[in-house]
Amino acid sequence: MLTEESYQTQYLDLNSIKELPESHTWTSLQDDCTDCLSNESESLPIIDLNDPDVLALVRHACETWGVLQVKNHGVSLRLLEDMEAATTKLFSLPIEQKLKVSLSSSNDISGYRLPKISPFFPKFMWREGFTIFGSPVEHAVKLWPQDYKPFCDLVEEYGKEMKNLAERLMWLMLKSLGITEEDINWSSLGGAAIQLNSYPVCPDPDRAMGLAEHTDSSLLTILYQNNTTGLQIFREGTGWLTVQPHTGVLVVNIGDLMHILSNGLYPSVLHRALVNRKQQRISVAYIYRPPANVLISPLPKLVDHYHLCLFRPITWTEYLELKSKHFTNTLSLIRISGSPNVVS
Ligand SMILES: O=C(O)CCC(=O)C(=O)O
Ligand SMILES: [Fe+2]
């Protein structure tokens, strides 16, 4: 099994390796990716959040794609670019420095770490990650003993702006399903993690995987990607589609918990990240979730004689625990038996 410990004992510095090691060599990537870019016409819509028809646009994108792109979202380009620069700076530190803030116990969630999904795949991914949960100060002091404050201030500002946007997006999604504020009493209490990702330049990108396919366990994830292609979403009947980056545009993934809340109407999107040999790719994911111990279940308004309740109630904490063992099977495990497989 791939563990944090086995990785650390190898001290692999992806930024300096000139040849793809066996431990990071994936097979069959080429095959499932051959027509990734041949479906340009099927491009994901970019929604202007000031559009008077925003609810209908959001509903259509969520139902059809499980993901949307948004502009005029209120987060300044300056803040997004500052976060990108800070992320680049963090990952350009020497590996010994980064390992000082790697996970120290299995209960740890913040720090420099392997993707949580690593144990489900036979090979390592071509990606470095740093997870921020709560204040980053303890780690920032170890990374930049003399100059940790600018990073902490920036993370705080980013977290505040993203929380506002996440709540707004959550309400747009819920309102587009006819849900009103009275139907939910925990909405402003949700929490979040910020996931910084770096995909270094790769000597053999066709045989490497940046971040393997997964759905997010969140309600929704707001993803900033720098101007380097790599993010792909899976579309039933079509295959993998590249989500081209656009300046200032944010990608919003539907997560598994929104899938549950919406009684399957808004599917959580399967996605992955590929790498390339020319440019480092940076992404920053704001992973927005409900309060840890609130029971999440399909909203009663979305359940009736024709739309049977598809999932049993579950807290985010329990969901994460199940997902760490069962990964992509988790949603089907909490499905109420006898419910139809597809809702329309
Ligand atoms: O880097 C990306 O584009 C995807 C990142 C992602 O899916 C994640 O952090 O969950
Ligand atoms: Fe993701």
Ligand nearest to the CA of 195: 1
Taking CA atoms, 271 is separated from 81, 133, 251, 325, in Å, by 23, 22, 12, 19
Catalytic residue among 59, 113, 281, 289: 281
According to the model, what pLDDT value does residue 37 have? 47
According to the model, what pLDDT value does residue 265 have? 97
Locate the ligand 1 atom nearest the alpha carbon of residue 199 and give its number: 1
Interatomic CA distance for residues 130 and 198, integer angstroms: 9
Q: Which of 283, 287, 320 to mutate to test the pocket of ligand 1 (most atoms within 8 A of CB)?
A: 283
Q: What percent of the chain has pLDDT over 90?
A: 82
Q: What percent of the chain has pLDDT over 70?
A: 89
Whether residue 81 lies inside any domain: the answer is yes
Give the DSSP letter of residue 30: H
Whether residue 94 lies inside any domain: the answer is yes
In SS3 terms, 262-320 reads as CCCCCCCCCEEECCCCCCCEEEEEEEEECCCCCCECCCHHHCCCCCCCCECCECHHHHH
Locate the ligand 1 atom nearest the alpha carbon of residue 197 and give its number: 1
Interatomic CA distance for residues 238 and 32, integer angstroms: 11
Q: Cα of 286 to ligand 2 centre, how many Å?
A: 10
Total residue count of the chain as it appears in this document: 344
Cβ contacts of 38 within 8 Å, gap of 6 or more? none
Domain carrying residue 297: 24-333
Which residues form ligand 1's pocket by a CB distance below 6 Å? 195, 197, 211, 216, 223, 225, 230-231, 271, 273, 283, 285
Model confidence, pTM: 0.94
Whether residue 302 lies inside any domain: the answer is yes
Q: For this complex, say whether ipTM is above 0.95.
A: yes
- By alpha-carbon position, which residue is closest to atom 3 of ligand 1? 231
Which regions in the chain score pLDDT beneath 70? 1-11, 28-42, 104-107, 338-344
> CATH number, domain at 127?
2.60.120.330
Establish whether 127 is a catalytic residue: no
Q: Domain tally for the chain?
A: 1
